[in-house]
Every structure is written in C-alpha cells, then in structure tokens.
Structure 1
C-alpha cells in the first residue's frame, strides 16, 4: 500500500537535527573527543539523505520498495534524534564539574555507549544510501507549495445543489409530519458523500428550529456507548438532571422530561456505526413509551452502513440513501472554492483541466471542495494539468480518497508533519487551536535553524500551519463549539494512514498496536487492565508523547507534570520516555 508520508515528514524533521548538531553545546561537549568525527559524519550522511527525499516521496506512490525504504529511514532518524536528546542531556550535566573518579569513569563509559549507538545508526543510514541506485533515487530540488489566500467559509455550498435540495426538503417534510410519535430516519451513504452536511442543513433550517423545542446533536462514531449518548441527550433537555451514571436512572429521568416538552424533540445521531441490535433497542426503551407521555420524538441517524440504516429505521419513512454527485455538481463545488474572487470563464484552459479533476472526485463533495481549496491560489495551467493527470488518482484504497491524498501531497512538508501528528485524536475529538499548537511546539516542530526560537515566534509559525490546515479543510470548525475544531472522519483516516505505526491510539484492547516504531500514543478512559497490557507492549519502546484525551465536557485544566502522581503508578513500570500531558479546557 503506497503511503504519502516518509519523505514529506522527514524533510521537516531533518533541519531540526542539523540545527542541534551545530549547537554550541554539542561542539563544546565533544571538542577534542573522538565522537566529534562521528557527529560530523552523521551530519554529512543526513545531508545526503535529505537530497533524495523529494524524489523518494514522489516514487513511493507507485513503488512499494521506496515506501519501505522511507519507513526504515524514518525509524533510523528517530533513533538519531533520541540519541541527540541523550547527548544534549549529558552536555548540560557536564557543566557540573565531576568531583569523583566514579563520576569520571561513568562519563567515559557513557560516551563509549553513545559512540556504539551512533555507529549503528550511521551504518543503517549508509546502508539505505547504498540502495539509492537500485531504487532509482536521485537528488531533486523541492519547491514549497503556495498557500491559498482564501478565508474560512461556511460549508453551505451543498444547499445549492439540486439533488441535495431535494434530499433536504424530503427529510424536513417527514420530520414535520405529526403522523407518529417516534420516527427514526437514517441517512445512509459512503464516507465524504455529505451525510453530516445534509443533516446540518436540516438541523439549522428555520422551520426545524421553530418546531423543535430541543435539538441535541450527538456524535456517536464507532463505539455506541448507550449510557454516554443518553446522558448527552438529557444534558440538552435538562442539564440539571444529567448527573446520574447509571443507565436506568438516566432513562427514567429522560422519560420524565418527555412529559413536560411543549414542542417536539429532534435528536441527531451523527456517524453511527454499530449494528448491535441489543444496544439499539436498549437505547430506544424510553422513546418507545413516548406515545403514553404525549411527546413527539424525531431521530435522524447518519451512517456509512446499510445494515445500520435498516436496523434503526422506525416509523412511516424511508431510508435516505445519498448517491454520488454528478460530474457537473462536483465541478460546481470545485469551481466555487477554486475561484472565490475570479470568474472561471476568464480561464478557459484551467476550466478544461478543472472539469477533468472534478470527474476524478468520483461524486464526493468533500473531495471536490478540498481540491478546489488546493487550487484556489494557483492559476498556472501546468500545475492544474499536473494535478489532473497525477498518478495518485489511480491508487487503489477504499479507505483513503484519492482527492484527499492528493491534497495532502501538496501540503508543505511541515504542515504534513503537523497533520500526521493529529492521528492521535479520536474521531469526533474537538480540539482548540492553542492546545494543538502547544503540542506541536512540545515536539520541537518549529525549531528554526536561524532566529531566537522564542515562544512567541514558534506560536506564530504554529498558528500559520494550523490556519493553513483549516483553509484546506483538513480541520473544520466544530458545530458544537465555535472555538474548537474537528477532523472529518475521512481526514482522520488519512492522518492515521500517513502516520503509519509511528502514532497510535490506545482505545479499548488494542495495545497490540504499540510496536517498536511507535513514538506517539494517546489514550482516553483506559482501565487498569488496559494499562497493564500497554505496559507490556511498551516495554522496549521509546515514546515521545503519551497524552490523555478527554471529551470536551470532561476536559480538565491543562497541566504539565515532571513527576507522576499516585494514580499514575502504573506508568512507572514503563521502560520508556513519557511526556504526560493533560489538555487544556477552553
């Protein structure tokens, strides 16, 4: 499976290594030492590797051997960076004068071990360099892509497409009907087809706002937690009565609230995956009694799976199956985002290539919008032609849309690295700009070869890359909290795809995902058994990130800790470097 990751992320990673190798602390600590020669050789070798990255990034698309080469290279460079961390620590420690022969002897042994590790890394890098001719790799210059100048816009373009207007009106007509007290209407379609957008158009329609007293919007995703979803609904209906933890009490309270509703209740269950019949009917228990309480409940379910649509369908309605857009409709969306300030008719050559690109979007509105934003600052005919005929359109992967992969390909190398790091976020996770930029800064993404590298300067760089990802639709504003952002499921899949084994989420019983290459791990609601399994999986690993990610409503005040507390005693068993971070509540 081709993966557009290695070269792009490494090209942003290597300048940081170069800067560290040139720092005064390194030169002073190893002045006159034999290690100075190895460090110089490392820098020369990394420079040679850096020259091949642009060519390797392009060729990995069609050559699996190049993809494997990049993975091995990335792992070796991570090991080099880990070693430089250790050298920096020892350089700082050496400022304290050794006062005993034991300290001096320990320092000598330490430098000997560092040299052994450095030689092993150099041998690996040289072995990879020796393969360049076999793989057909050559040095190439890489030109940074232009950043679109368009401002953030609301994603309401679908409301003007004929097929979506018909879908919207049909759903609203059913929801406003008083024929039954409980109606569940599923919206079914493939990822990126516009299910959530259509549900949002319905949800925000003035007729719906006027008719429904409460409108809880619940993001469900892969795990259908009946207790959590019930509590979220109750929190909207009556926040003061949602403090229970037992499902029985929550459902009884919800049933009690129904009797006091003066108007109808609309519930949206977005991105529903589970086809577990027992869980679904457990969830429906309080709603099945609404007829006696004289309440009117309408539920909209969006799902990728036909089996889920069939399971949830309730009442005199039909499943709303969303078909792909026509090529003309895809061009309409692409054109609207690519020509925000211009008239496409003034660029007939661009229009010809644009229509070909729209056809390659294969009916997905998300793909058409994303590619449109990619092209919004580009008026070079050759660039449009290059994108329309890219090999990426021919890659076969049902989970990753080619248009999104192409948009990732044209990000700057540093934006790619920032985006790949967000593979740590679970689907539906709401994040603030500040918290994400701080995480990127903690990873050293914005250390510059020149300049003071002040906190303010790095924050400005991080904000620029965050805004770039928002402009290109990789991040979208949360509908629940305007100050927060989310990733569309397909972009979340893309982030996991490009990060490979280097980023992992500890969810449920998946500690087996932690492998030697894993450097970044996130977790949420992990029990003791899962931590024990994770401890075993992490035994021989060196983590750079270990973060707790809680839902927005339960997020605690941002804290950084240099020591682990009593409740973290399990983490003390990990033979790994851990950065424990709790995210900020905004």
Structure 2
C-alpha cells in the first residue's frame, strides 16, 4: 500500500478507528455481558468517541493558532492513551483468566472470574467516559465543528495548509552549491533523448527545504532554455491533484486561454497547442496522484516535437517512479563552506563577518545544526540579521530548532507541511520515532517491530500482515526523506536533526529522549522514554522521575559515547518491573545484565523485549507468562538454554538467537506458529528428531541457521522439517559439526547425503551456506535450476 492509497487524517484518527472497531466487536460485547459489566457504557463510549472523531482534523489544524485548542488536543491524546491502555488490559486479562477458569471444574468459579472484574473495569470506564464527555462538550466552546472533512470511506480527508505558490523567478546571486546540479539538469534538458512515445521527464527529489524548486528555477531561467525551447511553462501542483484543474493550469501557463470544462476537450486543446512545438514544462511540488491519472494527464504532452522536456520537483521518490521519470536528480546537502557563504550573505547582510569574531564563531556552530539544508540556512540567517547580537545568537544556538515560533522561522512550516500531509497512521508511526535521540541509527525490521509493539500497525481494513504493512509504511517515510540511509555504509537509517526536532515537536510531553538533565521534563503523561544514564551517580534521581509516569509504554536504554555499559542491578529491575507495568517495549540492549529478574512477569502487556549484547546466561521461567510478547531479541548473549515452558509464548513473532550459546531448542517450539524470525535452530544428539519442530513454522522469513545436523539419524525427520514450504526464507545456513574426531563411515556419509537432500529449501532463497558437510556429492536441488534466485553460495567441506 503506497501513501497515495491512504487517506490523510489527524494524528488520532487511526487510533479512534481502531478503538471504535474494538468497542463494537462481538468479543468485547460478549465479554461485558459475561462479566456483568454495563453494556450501555460501551455504547456511550462509542457515541462520545464518534462525536470527537469528527473534529479531530480541524483541531489539529487550529492548534497552532490557539493554545486552548492545543491544550484540548493534548488532553484528548492523554485520555486516548488511557482508553487504549484499558482496552489492552481487557484483551490481555480476559483470555488468561478464562484459561485459568476453564482448568477448574466448578462453573461457579468461572462466574466468579468474570464478576471479579466488575469493580476495577467498570469504575475506570466510567471515569474515562466522564473525562471524554467533558472534552466533547468543550469542542463546541472552542468552535470545533464537524465540517466536510469525512471521506467517502469513513476516514478523514486532508485539508491542506495555506501555502504560497512557487514562481519561476529566482535571485541567482543568492544560490550556493548547486552549480554542478544545475549543469547536470541543463545537460539533460538540452540533450537528444529518445523516450519513444513519452516525453523525457527529469525528477528533482529531496527533503523540503533542500532547494528543489530553486534548482528548477535556475535551469528554467537560464538563457540557453530561451534559445532551445519554443514554449516554456511553470505549473505549481501542490497537494491537490485534479486532472481537470491541472490541465487548465498547464494550458494557461502555455498562454493558451480556454473556457472548456470537459476533460477530453481540454486535452484536445492542449494537444493542439503543443503539436509540433518543442516545449519545457515544470511541474513543481508534486505530491501524489495515481499512475492512471498521471498517464491520462501526460497523454497530450507527448505530442510536442522531439526535444521537449518536463521537470518535476517532489519530496516523494515514489512520485518519480509513478511518472516514469527518465532521470532522477537527488539533491545532496550543501557543503559547510557553501552553507557559511549563504549564511554570511543573509545574517551579516553587507557587513564584514570577520569584524564580528564572536558572532562568526557562534554562526558557524549554528549552521552546523542546519544539516546542509539551504532553506534552514537562509531562514536562520534572515532571523539572526534582525537579532544582531551575541546574546540572541547564543539563545538561538542553544534552542531546539522546532521551538522557534512560526512567526520567526518558516523552516518549521516546510517540515510541518510534510508531516501534516501524512495519513493518520503514518503520523503516529513517524511521531513514535521522537523516542530516538539525535543521530540514533535504526534498522527497518527493528522499527517495524517497535511500531507493532505499540499497537500502531493495528489499522482497520488493512488486508495484510502487520509486518508487511509496517514495511510499506517504512518505505513511505523513506520516500519523503523523513528517514535517510545512514552514511556509515550499513543498512541502517537515521533521521535528520531537523526531522527529529519535528517529531519531538509533534508529540511534546508524551515522548522524551532524556539527554543531559532532561529527566526533570518527565511528566505523568509521558508514554515513551529513551535514556542513557542508568549508571550515573544520580541514577536514582532519574529513575524516580521515570517511575512517576502513570502509563509508560516504551523504555529504551541506549549506549552513548560517554557510557559504554549500563549496570542494571536487580534492585533497578525490580523497581522497573513493579512500577512500570504498562510497558509494551523494553530495550536493555548492551547493558550489564547478568540475570533477568523473575518480576519481569509483571509486564503483562509487554510486546518487545531486547536483551541483546547483555550478559544473560539463562532466562527465568516467569518470562513464559508474558502472553503478549511478540519480539524477544537475545543476540550476542552467552545464553545456553531457554525455559522449558517457552512454547507458552504463543504470540511470539520474532526470536533472535544469533551468536548465542544455545545448546538445544526448548520442547514444543514448533507450537509457536506465529514465528517469523528464528535465526538459530540447534539439533542435539539425543533429540535429532527435534528437527521436525520446524514443520509448522512456515511463516519464517529472513535468516535461519540450522546446526548440529549430524545428529539427525532418520532422514525422514529432515523431510518433515518441510524447508521447501518456508517460502519467505531468504538466507539458509546448514551446519554440521566441525569436530574432526566425530565418527565417520560410509553409512554415516550416506545418511548425511540423504538428510541434505531432504532439506531442500524454497526456490526464493538468495543466500545458502553449507558447512562441514562430509558427503561425496551435493543434493540434486543444488545442481539444477531450483534455486533460480540464489545470489550467494558458500560451501565449506570437511577434508
């Protein structure tokens, strides 16, 4: 699902849709009836949420003009979290308590189980309902009314912010660092390119504020364009895609007047205007549109003469793909020297910067925060020219960019516009990333799992897995440059500092990356926290701030350059697990953690637990009570075994055991049929038949390493592993023992050959490793054309 297929909406729209779906479901209604809870409460809650849902988008638009609306929206977000928390507790406790009751013979005990919930749940629902009804009444006082925002599909459509249309005029003397890009663009425009029946298109792609429009202006106004093209036109597209309106705008830009309103007639007139003419058309600020719509709109443009060209500027790489661009020009950040030249021009405005050494020093630090974005440099330069004093410049330097008011800086307007044009679900997924400190790198799989843990991927009407849905949302955020490939050569991604600031500005007190002494900023409403200070002398002070949160959902403890390891003592663990019972995500990656405390079982709502790179050698049995756990990461731990009741983690999707010391798999691991990630599977001598536990794990994807295959005595057991059915596996490692003294004879060699033949993988595999195999020939499936997607083959044999 691409962004153009989603309907934009307010931050809370997707939450409301999911909450309304749950509340009206038969499961919840039946649960209330059996629990002797007042079903009318559900109806009242549904009505109240619906009434508020209709004004969410208008409220989100007005929050920047009215502090009262912003406070109303923040209050609503807080109670939305509370509703979500309550629904999660009901959905979690109901099946657990029911299973416990069913194990008891007395039906009266089942009745006692349900009736025992009457007081806590009913009283909390009544309290939340009272708060929400109060907010619903306030919306009228704030002037929030249900206008024509609702889409035909029941979602919330996007009402764009007011923006100034772009023009083709530009002051070339104020442009820095784009000479190379300009010449590359002009070379394309002047070249003879054969694109068949399609006019050649060059798409200029980059984050808002990178200078896409400016570059197009530079080329458009170059004297060579006037000589080369008979007709030139500049059309500002923006968010709204209307083929009729856009066709009329193109006609007008080509100085061809028309009174026609019918699309076919407009296209005919445009074709007549362009036939036999060599033209240049700029479509500036393109955001969306379907392939079919663009094909229809571009059809008459193909009738220009050879040499005609189209320039498209867009923030979305997908737009370039939809329009079948002949060439993409991805704008890079400006160099520091170019930023400084631009900054001097705007901030010092004719003054000699060297005559102000203090301001010069501060200014160079300020442009370092701009990350090479021309618009950021220009905007701050203009701002600081009006505040030409050391005191004001220092203040700007020490202030987060997003805190600058809209009146002082339009860089926020540009970034916020990108944010506000996102669908509701993407807004929430992007805003969640405010938990990351600046410069934090993350992988796609990691972030998608975090989104899933927070319930962000439970989107109504989406007919695909949460993993696939999350992957597509991630790609959408990459395509608009909110996420950028890390420059360290890895597959990780980062957010630009300004984008990180944007995310933090959108969530306010609800999400906090604790750096320095910011633990004092933690409030009772804070839901997501990242920190790196558990081993400081005043760690107790910081944890006390964290513990005052009433419903903390995410806690990410990360390492920074100053602290290589965090010591998470048993005392800290016990505090964490007893006071933060609402946690859905807990990451202690890289911490000094020799043992996981038994009290971890208190975290009934936990979905994501990262213990990678810790010193844990075993897990407590109590971890098997974490019914909701979806992701358990144990990479690079000296872990030797998993609890015997591990199979009870029936909702587990991701289990990373890479580089652990696991000696055998827990019994009945094959019952965890939701597993998508299982990086390591060990076959032991006494239980070689355990390889059959892989039989039903057909959702496995990514990488799987099977070791100890010399312990498979019966080849039929290997066949029952059904690796051929695991169609989503991309990387398979088949490992035999490298012990040179292990018994070997013709019978064993023949058995290993038969076992390997039975381990035929799926044809989608692209990486295969076979290590320490003693057979005299390789299996038939390796020599034929079965593995047609194979890109890497590593064979290591025993001599």
State the alpha-carbon separation in 2 of the partners of residues 486 and 555 from structure 1. Answer: 21
The aligned counterpart of 1:202 is none
Matched, 1:524 2:526: no
The aligned counterpart of 2:406 is 395
The aligned counterpart of 2:481 is 473
The aligned counterpart of 2:434 is 423
SS in 2 for 1:9: coil
Query: CA contact under 8 A between 1:427 and 1:487: conserved in structure 2?
Result: yes
State the alpha-carbon separation in 2 of the partners of residues 110 and 531 from structure 1. Answer: 38
Larger Cα-atom Rg: 2
Query: CA contact under 8 A between 1:400 and 1:493: conserved in structure 2?
Result: no
SS in 2 for 1:27: helix
SS in 1 for 2:459: coil
1:331-346 → structure 2 map (5 Å cutoff): 331=217, 345=232
SS in 1 for 2:451: helix
TM norm structure 2: 0.41
SS in 2 for 1:164: coil
SS in 1 for 2:555: strand
- The structural deviation recorded for 1:327 is 8.2
Gaps of at least 5 residues in structure 1 are 1-5, 147-160, 169-190, 195-324, 336-343, 359-367, 380-392, 557-562
TM norm structure 1: 0.55
Cα deviation digits, residues 55-92 of structure 1 (max 9, x gap): 21222232222111111111111111111122223322
The aligned counterpart of 2:135 is 128
State the alpha-carbon separation in 1 of the partners of residues 557 and 61 from structure 2. Answer: 35
The 1:462–1:372 alpha-carbon spacing in structure 2 relative to 1, beyond 3 Å, is closer
RMSD: 4.6
Query: CA contact under 8 A between 2:441 and 2:486: conserved in structure 1?
Result: yes
Q: Where is the helix percentage greater, Structure 1 or Structure 2?
A: 1
The 1:564–1:525 alpha-carbon spacing in structure 2 relative to 1, beyond 3 Å, is closer
The aligned counterpart of 1:577 is 582
1:88-237 → structure 2 map (5 Å cutoff): 88-95=91-98, 96-97=100-101, 108=115, 110-139=117-146, 140-142=149-151, 163-164=176-177
The aligned counterpart of 2:24 is 22
State the alpha-carbon separation in 2 of the partners of residues 47 and 507 from structure 1. Answer: 39
- The structural deviation recorded for 1:405 is 1.0
The 1:332–1:117 alpha-carbon spacing in structure 2 relative to 1, beyond 3 Å, is farther
Aligned mate of 2:458, from 428, 447, 462: 447
The aligned counterpart of 1:272 is none
Aligned mate of 1:547, from 556, 573, 584: 556
State the alpha-carbon separation in 1 of the partners of residues 137 and 560 from structure 2. Answer: 48
State the alpha-carbon separation in 1 of the partners of residues 460 and 9 from structure 2. Answer: 19
Query: CA contact under 8 A between 2:234 and 2:284: conserved in structure 1?
Result: no
Cα deviation digits, residues 310-342 of structure 1 (max 9, x gap): xxxxxxxxxxxxxxx89844855999xxxxxxx
Query: CA contact under 8 A between 2:434 and 2:503: conserved in structure 1?
Result: yes
**Comparing both chains, which one has the higher relative contact order based on Cα–Cα distances under 8 Å and sequence gaps of 6 or more?**
1
Matched, 1:536 2:544: yes
Aligned mate of 1:458, from 452, 457, 466: 466
State the alpha-carbon separation in 2 of the partners of residues 29 and 441 from structure 1. Answer: 25
The 1:10–1:329 alpha-carbon spacing in structure 2 relative to 1, beyond 3 Å, is same
State the alpha-carbon separation in 2 of the partners of residues 398 and 25 from structure 1. Answer: 50
State the alpha-carbon separation in 2 of the partners of residues 333 and 464 from structure 1. Answer: 34
State the alpha-carbon separation in 2 of the partners of residues 144 and 36 from structure 1. Answer: 32
Cα deviation digits, residues 35-71 of structure 1 (max 9, x gap): 2211221122111111111221222232222111111
The aligned counterpart of 2:14 is 12
State the alpha-carbon separation in 2 of the partners of residues 402 and 440 from structure 1. Answer: 26
State the alpha-carbon separation in 2 of the partners of residues 46 and 530 from structure 1. Answer: 43
The 1:540–1:415 alpha-carbon spacing in structure 2 relative to 1, beyond 3 Å, is closer
The 1:511–1:102 alpha-carbon spacing in structure 2 relative to 1, beyond 3 Å, is farther
State the alpha-carbon separation in 1 of the partners of residues 512 and 180 from structure 2. Answer: 38
- The structural deviation recorded for 1:510 is 2.1
The aligned counterpart of 2:33 is 31
State the alpha-carbon separation in 1 of the partners of residues 118 and 480 from structure 2. Answer: 47
Gaps of at least 5 residues in structure 2 are 1-7, 160-173, 182-206, 222-230, 238-249, 254-280, 287-311, 324-403, 590-609, 611-632, 636-657, 659-799
SS in 1 for 2:130: helix
- Provide the aligned length of Structure 1 versus Structure 2: 377
Query: CA contact under 8 A between 1:522 and 1:548: conserved in structure 2?
Result: yes
State the alpha-carbon separation in 2 of the partners of residues 141 and 26 from structure 1. Answer: 27
Query: CA contact under 8 A between 2:315 and 2:481: conserved in structure 1?
Result: no
The aligned counterpart of 1:57 is 60
The 1:165–1:395 alpha-carbon spacing in structure 2 relative to 1, beyond 3 Å, is closer
Cα deviation digits, residues 235-265 of structure 1 (max 9, x gap): xxxxxxxxxxxxxxxxxxxxxxxxxxxxxxx
The 1:433–1:116 alpha-carbon spacing in structure 2 relative to 1, beyond 3 Å, is same
State the alpha-carbon separation in 1 of the partners of residues 448 and 64 from structure 2. Answer: 30
The 1:403–1:93 alpha-carbon spacing in structure 2 relative to 1, beyond 3 Å, is same
The 1:573–1:92 alpha-carbon spacing in structure 2 relative to 1, beyond 3 Å, is closer
